[in-house]
Amino acid sequence: MKTKQKKQKRATISFNSELHKALRLKAEETDQSLSDLVNDAVRKSLAEDAEDLAAFEKRAGEPNLLFEDVLKQMKKRGQL
């Protein structure tokens, strides 16, 4: 039975020299490739974005509050 390989695409990205050095060192220490480190970081960032979007969608029906109004109410209640 053959295992299905994921298709990969190439991209050229530029890092500042200090970030590139840190990535190279981390790759060495963790026995991963730079590509694996970058793919993992991007995947985590996209997952966080998906969580944020889901939270926004879940709260879409809630009323919008103006910051100024919240401050006024807090002051009125003696919380500020």
Q: How many domains does the chain have?
A: 1
pTM for the model stands at 0.65
Q: Is residue 38 part of a domain?
A: yes
Q: Is residue 35 part of a domain?
A: yes
CA 13 to chain centre: 18
For residue 31, what are the domain limits?
17-76
Q: Which residues of the chain have pLDDT under 50?
A: none
> What is the DSSP secondary-structure string of the chain?
-PPPPPP---------HHHHHHHHHHHHHHT--HHHHHHHHHHHHHHHHHHHHHHHHHTTTSPP--HHHHHHHHHHTT--
Q: Is residue 23 within 8 Å of 15, Cβ to Cβ?
A: yes
pLDDT at 1: 53
pLDDT at 6: 78
